[in-house]
Homo-oligomer: A and B are copies of this chain.
Amino acid sequence: MSTREQVLDAALRTLNADPTASLATIAEAAGVGRATLHRHFPGRDDLVRELGDRSLDRWEQTQDASGMADAIADGGAEAVTACLHSMFPRLVVDAEDHGFALTDSFLVCDPELAARTAALEEREVGLWRTAQAAGVVRPELPARWYLHAGYGLLVAARDALRAGDVARRDVADLVLDTLLHGIGTSTPTTTSTTTTPEGGAR
């Protein structure tokens, strides 16, 4: 492994644990001198930008590996469902590996990274729109909400894993199951909930 990759891997691990870690800490974690780190990455911004790029690469790979493009092109319920079930387990892993990218703000600070992020988000919104058209998810809610809800549950998954509240083996199913079916026992549209006066209709 090249020194450059050593540094990037160590930076990812270190910043994941503490987003405010200093370059000295990162260099030490990478087992290289501070000067060497500066030779490969002139400044902290360069290092962080590269990490952001890697995170977005990973996200893009996850979308590709899940067959998102094919599912959107296919448009059928089976294809969309298969895509979701392929994508979320990968996303859970991504959220753990690049967890800091979920919450940190550097993604929106750099214009180039922000543009890439927006493009990937748009791609996923396209999947959710297809899922609506295919009858897989409810059509009456804004598709963009599904994007946010999905990533909110990924944050939940990361936190739950960190707290040791759920088994790693179960967490991907838990996320997708909660996202698609919710945690309630009542059905959403049949006004079977006992107390809500206006029923479940929105």
Residues of A near any B CB (own CB < 8 A):
18, 77-78, 81-82, 85, 103, 105, 134-138, 141-142, 144-149, 151-157, 159-160, 163, 165-166, 170, 173-174, 177-189, 193-197, 199-202
Contacts and interface: CB of A to CB of B under 8 A. Distances in A.
Number of copies: 2
A78 B195 contact: yes
B145 A200 contact: no
Nearest to A144: B165
B185 A135 contact: yes
A180 B177 contact: no
A146 B185 CA distance: 13
Given A141-B183, A149-B153, 7 more contacts: A78-B199, A81-B196, A149-B183, A151-B156, A152-B159, A155-B155, A181-B181
Nearest to A81: B195
A184 B183 contact: no
Contacts of A197: 78
Contact of A145 (B147, B160, B193, B199): B160
Contacts of A201: 135
A148 B178 CA distance: 11
A157 B184 CA distance: 19
